[in-house]
Structure 1
Amino acid sequence: NGTRDDNQPLDAEYPVGTTNITWTVTDDNGNEALPVIQTITVTDDQAPVIAAVEAINTTADADTCGAMIEIVPPTATDNCTVGNVNGTRDDNLPLDAEYPVGTTNITWIVTDDNGNEAEPVIQT
C-alpha cells in the first residue's frame, strides 16, 4: 500500500514541489516490511504569458508639454500561479507621472510563483 504525505489518492494530480509516498506491505503471516519512501518531484518550466498591449497615442494636455495618461497593466496567464505584471518606463519615471511629448516605452514583465519569467512586452 502506498500513502502520500499530502493524503491525496495515489492517482490524484501531483502538485509542483515534492510529494513523498510511503510504501508498506505485510505478508500473509502478519510480518511487516520496513517502509520505503518514494519521492515524486514535479517542476514548473512553463513561463507565464503577458497579454498583447496596444500603443497609446494622445495629444498633449492643455497648457503643458505632456499628458497625464492612466496606464492599465496588461493581464498575464500561467499554468500555475502568476504574480503581478510590472511596468517600467524607459525614462525611469513612475507609470503615473506625466508623459512627455514624443515616444515613451513601457516594458511589462511578470514572473510566476515558481520563478519562470514571461517574455517582456513593450508598450509605446
Structure 2
Amino acid sequence: GTPTTGDNCAVASTTNDAPGVFPIGDTTVTWTVTDSSGNTATCTQTVTVTDNIDPTISCPATVNVNVDAGLCTASSVALGTPTTGDNCAVASTTNDAPGVFPIGDTTV
C-alpha cells in the first residue's frame, strides 16, 4: 500500500524499509516521509505472511510379511518411507504403526 502523507510546505520523499521478499510471520515496515526542509515523520505497518498451503504425502507401497517364528505376529516390518513435499519445509513425518503387527491387514 501507500501511506497518506502531507506537509505545510511540500513532501520531498516517502520511503520504506520493506524487504524484497517477506518471510513467514510478521514483518514490521517503517515508512518515512521527508519534507522539503528535511523534517521527517515515521509510521509502522505490519505485514503478516501465512503459509496456507498443505504439505503433500504419497505412501509407500503395500507391504506383505510373514509372521515371526513361533508367533502369530510380525515385529520386524520395514514400512518404507513416504514421499513428502511442501512449499516451505516438511517439519516432520510420523505414522501410527503398532510395534507388533497381528495377522491380517493393518492400515498405517
Give the TM interval when normalised to the shorter protein: 0.7 to 0.9
Q: So what's the TM-score if we normalise by structure 2? A: 0.72
Q: State which of 73, 90, 95 in structure 2 corresponds to 1:82.
A: 90
Q: How does 1:20-35 map to 2 (within 5 A)?
A: 20-32=28-40, 34-35=41-42
**Residues in 1 aligned to 2:59 and 2:21: alpha-carbon distance in whole angstroms:** 31
The answer on whether the counterparts of 1:23 and 1:37 sit within 8 Å (CA) in structure 2 is: yes
Shift of 1:60: 2.1
Q: Which residue in 1 is equivalent to 2:58?
A: 51
Identity of aligned residues (%): 35
The count of aligned residue pairs is 93
Letter in 2 for 1:66: T
Q: Where in structure 1 are there 5+ consecutive unaligned residues?
A: 5-9, 107-124
The 2-side partners of 1:52 and 1:69 are apart by: 15
Match of 1:99 among 78, 101, 106: 101
The structure with higher relative contact order (CA 8 Å, sep 6+) is 1
TM-score normalised by length of structure 1: 0.64
- Say if 2:26 and 2:49, in contact at 8 Å, map to a contact too: yes
Equivalent position of 1:120 in the other structure: none
| Higher CA-based Rg | 2
Q: CA RMSD in A?
A: 1.8
Structure 2 unaligned regions, length at least 5 = 1-14
Whichever structure has more strand as a proportion of its residues is: 2
